[in-house]
Amino acid sequence: MKTIPVSAGDCDSPDPKLLTVEQVHEQLAQLTTPVTGIERVAIREALGRILAEDVISPINVPPYANSAMDGYALNAADLPASGKITLTMIGKSFAGDPYKGKVTSGQCIRIMTGAQIAEGTDTVIMQEQVNADGHAITIGSGHSAGQNVRLPGEDMAKGSTVITSGKLIGPAEIGLLASLGYPEVKVKRKVRVAFFSTGDELVAVGEKLQEGQIYDSNRYTIYGMLEKLGVEIIDLGVIRDDRQAIEEAFNHAADIADAVITSGGVSVGEADFVKLTLEKIGKVDFWKVAMKPGKPLALGKIKNAMFFGLPGNPVSVMATFYLFAQPALRRLMGEDYQQPLTVKATTKSLIKKHPGRTDYQRGIATDENGKLMVDSAGMQASHILSGMSNANCFVVIPQMSGSIEAGEEVDVIMFDGLT
């Protein structure tokens, strides 16, 4: 990976007026705060929601000492230091049906995984390490006291904090809540996100295109990304290029939502109704960001709602949403602000790039004999949405880097991690 000087005439040449990707993240982290409002929901309905209070364990988990293996429970005092010992099996213990007697020296019981440890026993020998003959077993040396026994509270102790507020609730958390006996849990209310498209050239899917018209694809892309995120979606449709209609749409969106998203019409220097309206009713910064795709970006507030003005090109919409809007929306939901996770991969072929902007090229990452490899997903123009469909990751190439040769290590952001 080489750093290459570029001429001032290069369209990707460094511009001191451009914000870096890191500067945008710093601004977003300062600008966003979690929504207020808490709901109590059944734990099955809590999947994908943000926990609103710490979960305290009301019990020990496990609640009693139990076996981690199918085997034989005995007292560690009977374990031979050398040679072998034969013990008499006096009963059995099953999960839900424990042995109720007391085990004394020279005795043992048959025990199954999860079954309660009987009084007088503290050690379990797995069945593969025992010679059983009717009601007697023979074991050798090399075992230790307490082995294969799960102690009370070993997983979660009574009174301990087991899930902290702000945690995204996944399948593991639902199972954990169930293991503690919680039928319901308090979560943050869903973040409400309103979005719309503007433009007389936009046509709804299913209609016939006339000359100079295009289908409104960005609104569907944004819908898909919001649906994956788990927010409450408010689709306000297409707003025509009328200044009063656009102003009314922005005011209505800000009144009913925590965040407002649009695409297009936010480039610095554009004399378009979207930009003029935002300058009138909002506190919005119009930025040029040193990234590709996605140079134009608008961020700020309309009334009390956050505003994300994404670029108009389809790939730029997805890149800026995943890199900037999604971390900010997750913060609104109650999570900590976190940038997308990157992992290392090795390039399979030359990846072309000009210095000047951080590049998020579309790539195809594959696991080859335990090593993550990445190749280009094809044409990289910001209007080619099929490239995003073919790709499974962004290949992140630093701002001042030139082209990347085959065999070099790069950062990648896997789409699976984003969605």
Helix (H) or strand (E) holding 374: strand 371-376
Residue 156 inside a domain? The answer is no
pLDDT at 5: 44
389 in the Ramachandran plot: left (φ > 0), alpha (ψ -120 to 50) or beta?
alpha
Do 129 and 195 lie in a common domain? no
Residue 159 inside a domain? The answer is no
Do 281 and 331 lie in a common domain? yes
Structure tokens given for 245:
């209609």
- Does residue 107 contact residue 162 with C-beta atoms inside 8 Å? no
Do 194 and 329 lie in a common domain? yes
Do 182 and 198 lie in a common domain? no
Residues spanned by the domain of 82? 66-150
Q: In the listed set 120, 150, 180, which residue is the last one of a domain according to the structure?
A: 150
Closest CA to 160 of 149, 170, 152: 152
Q: Which residues of the chain have pLDDT under 70?
A: 1-16, 267-271
What is the separation of C-alpha 159 from the centre of its chain, rounded to a whole number of angstroms? 29
pLDDT at 7: 42
Q: What count of other Cβ atoms lies within 10 Å of the Cβ of residue 139?
A: 22
Do 108 and 221 lie in a common domain? no
Check residue 324 and report its DSSP letter.
I
Residue 43 inside a domain? The answer is yes
pLDDT at 6: 43
Residue 241 CA to residue 276 CA, distance in Å, equals 12
Do 383 and 346 lie in a common domain? yes
Structure tokens given for 360:
């998020």
Cα angle at 286 between 282 and 287, to 5 degrees?
150
Residue 160 inside a domain? The answer is no
Look up tokens 């710093």; give the residue: 26
- Does residue 149 contact residue 68 with C-beta atoms inside 8 Å? yes
**CATH number of the domain that 384 lies in?**
3.40.980.10
Do 358 and 274 lie in a common domain? yes
Residue 158 inside a domain? The answer is no
pLDDT at 269: 56
Residue 157 inside a domain? The answer is no
Q: In the listed set 93, 127, 150, which residue is the last one of a domain according to the structure?
A: 150
**CATH number of the domain that 130 lies in?**
2.170.190.11
Do 245 and 387 lie in a common domain? yes
Question: pLDDT (tens digit, 9 = 90+) per residue, 99-140?
Answer: 999 999 999 999 999 999 999 999 999 999 999 998 999 999
- Does residue 152 contact residue 63 with C-beta atoms inside 8 Å? yes
Q: In the listed set 123, 150, 177, which residue is the last one of a domain according to the structure?
A: 150
Do 268 and 354 lie in a common domain? yes
Residue 314 inside a domain? The answer is yes
Do 52 and 103 lie in a common domain? no
Residue 362 CA to residue 375 CA, distance in Å, equals 9
Q: What is this structure's pTM?
A: 0.83
pLDDT at 3: 47
**CATH number of the domain that 175 lies in?**
3.90.105.10
Q: What count of other Cβ atoms lies within 10 Å of the Cβ of residue 288?
A: 16
pLDDT at 8: 42
DSSP string for 207-243: SPPPTT-EE--HHHHHHHHHHHHTPEEEEEEEE-S-H
pLDDT at 16: 66
Closest CA to 358 of 410, 321, 300, 418: 410
pLDDT at 13: 53
Residue 349 inside a domain? The answer is yes
Do 128 and 184 lie in a common domain? no
Do 409 and 398 lie in a common domain? yes
Domain count across the chain: 3
DSSP string for 70-111: SEEEE-GGG--SSSEEEEEEEEEEBTTB---SB--TTEEEEE
pLDDT at 86: 97
Helix (H) or strand (E) holding 246: helix 243-256
